[in-house]
Amino acid sequence: AATMAAVALVAAGPLVAPQVAGAAPGNPGAPRYSAGAASIGDPYFPDAGNGGYDVQHYDLDFSYDPATRFMDATATITAVATQDLDRFNLDFRGPEISSLTVNGHPHAFTRDGQELIVTPRPKLKTGQTFTVVVRYAGVPAVVTDPDGSIEGWVPTDDGAFVAGEPQGTPAWLPTNDHPTDKATFRFTAKVPEGLTAVGNGQLLSQRTSDGWTTFVWDSTEPMASYLATITIGNFVVTETTTAGGIPVYVAVDPRQVAGSASAVAQLPKMIDFFSSKFGPYPFASTGAIIDRAPNVGYALETQTKPVFSGAASVSTMAHELAHQWYGDSVSPERWSDIWLNEGFATYAQWMYTEYNGGASVTQTFNSSSNYGRAASSSFWQTVLADPGPVDMFSSIPYNRGAMTLHALRGKVGDDTFFRILREWAANNRHGHASTADFIALAEKESGQHLGAFFDVWLFQQGKPTTW
Ligand code: ARG
Ligand code: ZN
């Protein structure tokens, strides 16, 4: 289409095409404005993500008072149009919006469920960088998932537990909420003095005045929106570095210090162990946020600093840190690819257990929660490569996913297997990839046809017996 447009302009001579709105018959060089898609087309979450633009950066500047649960926020979103746009959507379930501008022009907008619908004027042309500023204030949302668990902005007794996999971040920040549109993030969070706001990335500054402390957190590597956090509470903060030189920032609720001591002590060693197996740690810093949110009941691999809703065990810490390579740096292309996150992190957990002197990976593979499950168990009846939104965080992607990797290791041998894991991290660093991409890489690195192998493990129901 670009070539045809260029030819048409040459044929028409040096006249500049008039900038008219809409498709212009007989004038193929003119912009063809249309609405960006209201969805990225991921069937697990049909409202998630949007088309027509690519976000570069999110900046959120806000205050939050746990006593009132009230947030007062300004979000500035910088994006590039990928088509000529007369309308685009963001995903937002947050509080009332008081104003919205595009490139400094105030705009009317509408909201429909999680869709925030913007009609920019002037309209936006392909390749144009634009800035959306959204001001909003009120109580951010708690989102309930298909499996019944809660996420988003979850108030705690001393702040808020903030986690967004798979669809919680629009509870408090307007986003293009899909792992295929990564961006850098900066959070400027003002909270009552004595509390700490802990975000992804590096702490740029921390200043207290008039009874409020403002924390500025900077994520310099691209991040999927579901991995964002700015968790607030009363925290004991410890800063160290790993033997490999990565800065570590750990924030622990005082009530979780004793129960998390062993996991926290081993964090630097885990980062170094995984670096030796998976390749260089993909981010500028690491750490953890160990909170108390009893109604949540899970941990999440929020980028650079996994967040825990209760005391962190050694194996959960290993799982969340392994996700920094598999999940955070290499994110799933579609949510049905979730085994690429959970199977890999679970396998890494098995590896760390073995490294730490516990059960061998082979023993764990054969245990009663894994391959030792009876063939009649309903566990085997879910297709790993498409578990569905209700089962995406069930034992299927975790345990069957890890078993698939161990079976692959047996098939291709240790050298090839670990080369596949390292190449997977290196080739897709700070990006996203699909199950088909993984199969292609495994075949390339092993030189084997693995279609039948992956068919049995990923695409068929039933307990694999031969592969
Ligand atoms: N990815 C997280 C983990 O395995 C689990 C997230 C669960 N989220 C949920 N909404 N159920 O560490
Ligand atoms: Zn996980």
**Atom 11 of ligand 1: nearest residue by CA position:** 149
Could you tell me which of 42, 307, 69 has the C-alpha nearest to residue 178?
Answer: 42
Residue 298: CB within 6 Å of ligand 1? Answer: yes
Residue 177: CB within 6 Å of ligand 1? Answer: no
Strand order in the sheet with 307-308: 236-241, 247-252, 286-290, 307-308, 299-300
Residue 335: CB within 6 Å of ligand 1? Answer: no
> In angstroms, what is the span from residue 75 Cα to ligand 2's centroid?
29
> In angstroms, what is the span from residue 383 Cα to ligand 1's centroid?
19
In the DSSP assignment, the letter for residue 391 is S
Q: Cα-flanking dihedrals φ and ψ of residue 116, to 5°?
A: -105, 115
**Atom 6 of ligand 1: nearest residue by CA position:** 300
Atom of ligand 1 nearest to the CA of 320: 12
Q: pLDDT tens-digit profile of 125-176?
A: 999 999 999 999 999 999 999 999 999 999 999 999 999 999 999 999 999 9
**Atom 1 of ligand 1: nearest residue by CA position:** 300
> In angstroms, what is the span from residue 288 Cα to ligand 2's centroid?
15
Residue 147: CB within 6 Å of ligand 1? Answer: yes
Residue 328: CB within 6 Å of ligand 1? Answer: no
Could you tell me which of 155, 200, 172, 191 has the C-alpha nearest to residue 309?
Answer: 155
Q: pLDDT tens-digit profile of 334-388?
A: 999 999 999 999 999 999 999 999 999 999 999 999 999 999 999 999 999 999 9
Distance CA 4, CA 309 (A): 56
Q: State ipTM.
A: 0.98
> In angstroms, what is the span from residue 2 Cα to ligand 1's centroid?
43
Q: pLDDT tens-digit profile of 186-219?
A: 999 999 999 999 999 999 999 999 999 999 999 9
Distance CA 112, CA 293 (A): 30
Cα dist from 262 to 255, 256, 350, whole Å: 15, 11, 17
Residue 76: CB within 6 Å of ligand 1? Answer: no
Residues 98-103, mean pLDDT to the nearest whole number:
98
Which pLDDT does position 107 carry in this prediction?
87
As to burial, measured by CB atoms within 10 angstroms (0-12 exposed, 13-18 middle, 19+ buried), residue 2 is: exposed
Residue 149: CB within 6 Å of ligand 1? Answer: yes
What value does the mean pLDDT of the chain take? Answer: 94
Q: Of the given ranges (10-19, 35-44, 272-281), which has the lowest mean pLDDT?
A: 10-19
Q: Is the pLDDT of residue 392 over 50?
A: yes
Atom of ligand 1 nearest to the CA of 150: 10
> In angstroms, what is the span from residue 99 Cα to ligand 2's centroid?
37
Q: Is the pLDDT of residue 10 over 70?
A: no
Q: pLDDT tens-digit profile of 317-337?
A: 999 999 999 999 999 999 999
Q: Is the pLDDT of residue 20 over 50?
A: no
> In angstroms, what is the span from residue 283 Cα to ligand 2's centroid?
18
> In angstroms, what is the span from residue 150 Cα to ligand 1's centroid?
10
**Atom 5 of ligand 1: nearest residue by CA position:** 300
User: What share of the chain in percent tops pLDDT 90?
Assistant: 92
* Probe target for ligand 1 pocket from 144, 295, 298, 308, with the most ligand atoms within 8 Å of CB: 298
Lookup: tokens for 259: 């129960």
Residue with tokens 């302009």: 9
Which pLDDT does position 30 carry in this prediction?
84
Which of the ligands is closest to the CA of residue 308?
A: 1
> In angstroms, what is the span from residue 164 Cα to ligand 2's centroid?
13
Which pLDDT does position 29 carry in this prediction?
73
**Atom 2 of ligand 1: nearest residue by CA position:** 300
Q: Is the pLDDT of residue 27 over 70?
A: no
Alpha helices in 356-457 (DSSP H): 361-366, 395, 401-412, 414-427, 435-446, 451-454
